[in-house]
Amino acid sequence: MVPLQSPLLRACSRRPVVLRRTRRRQAKRPCQRNVCCQQQQAAVSPAPAKTDALLDSLKWDQNGLITAIVQHVDTGEVLMQAFANRLAVQQTLLSRRATFYSRSRREQWCKGDTSGNHINVLGMYLDCDKDALIYLGDPVGPSCHTGAHTCWFTELQQEPHGLRLEGEHTSGRHVPRTTLYALEATIAERRAAMSQQQPGEKPSWTAKLLSKPELLCSKIREEAGELCQTLEENEGSDRAASEMADLLYHSMVLLNLQEVPMEKVLSKLRQRFATSGVEEKESRKAQ
């Protein structure tokens, strides 16, 4: 469970709200268009004065809308961008489901109404000008209507004769990645290239580690020891950062070998935010 600490979310409740991670039930028929939003609208009670004042302070455009950007709570990826009116923001606060306003249909829409690909909102953040929102979300399924994980899958590449667009929704090769996920993708590419390696061709270090689990495990133990040594011998922050980078890289190679995505690791880490170390150890014993 993750306690919600966002100012917007706190404004809707006297007590801190705790979200439970929801799972999509395969057997459940997806909602018909706008059913979820209609249910939410019917359930919306008059907002507390504090919430009204906060919503009044937002800089809505001439149509009463504000930009709403969805960011993945674990990966940091930007998943999608839409618009929300006052009621959509209020519904998102109350239901914890990403809700927007469709300018073309002129109506509210809850992400996942027809597809079942909801986005559970764990936090909401305003920018410095109060004219844009971030929904910090935990998506259930793809976020893009094309079926892609994110709406941002096309890269602008500068070439001598101008710009070129690269990428398509069926491939995640050109999505914007943070450092960890760029490294994860590179490791995956090295593994895929192993099957095409020519006889006598020298393998990359990553490929060598992937083909020799004993070597990989020995390197992880070695790098962990060297990281501890930076503390024991007071080698300084730069050395500690360097050794941690080495340990992280080798550990991610091991994760690739065991087909464990980094997103799963970060999700496990987030689940422990509201759990004490003692409770976490006890839960392991019970498994």
Tens digits of residue pLDDT in 95-135: 999 999 999 999 999 998 888 899 999 999 999 999 999 99
Instruction: Determine the CATH number of domain 179-272.
Output: 1.10.287.1080
Q: What is the mean pLDDT of the chain?
A: 81
- Amino acid 4: pLDDT: 44
- Amino acid 173: pLDDT: 59
Q: Is the pLDDT of residue 209 over 50?
A: yes
- Amino acid 43: pLDDT: 46
Q: Is the pLDDT of residue 80 over 60?
A: yes
Mean pLDDT of 85-101: 95
Question: pLDDT tens digits for 230-249?
Answer: 999 999 999 999 999 999 99
Q: Considering the chain, what percentage of its residues have pLDDT values greater than 90?
A: 52
Q: Is the pLDDT of residue 138 over 60?
A: yes
Mean pLDDT of 208-220: 97
- Amino acid 42: pLDDT: 45
- Amino acid 165: pLDDT: 65
DSSP secondary structure of the chain: -EEE--HHHHTT-SS-EEEPPP---TTSPPPPTTHHHHHHHHHPPPPPHHHHHHHHTS---TTSEEEEEEEETTT--EEEEEEEEHHHHHHHHHH-B-EEEETTTTEEEETTTTT---EEEEEEEE-TTSSEEEEEEEESS-SSTTS-SSS---EEEEETTEEEEE--TT--TTS---HHHHHHHHHHHHHHHGGGPPTTPPPPHHHHHHH-HHHHHHHHHHHHHHHHHHHHTT--HHHHHHHHHHHHHHHHHHHHHTT--HHHHHHHHHHTTTS-HHHHHHHHHH-
Every domain of the chain and the residues it spans: 2-23+31-139, 150-176, 179-272
Distance CA 82, CA 162 (A): 29
Q: Is the pLDDT of residue 2 over 80?
A: no
> CATH homologous superfamily of domain 2-23+31-139?
Phosphoribosyl-AMP cyclohydrolase (3.10.20.810)
Question: pLDDT tens digits for 31-63?
Answer: 444 545 555 454 455 556 688 888 999 999 999
Mean pLDDT of 149-156: 80
pTM (2 decimals)?
0.66
- Amino acid 26: pLDDT: 44
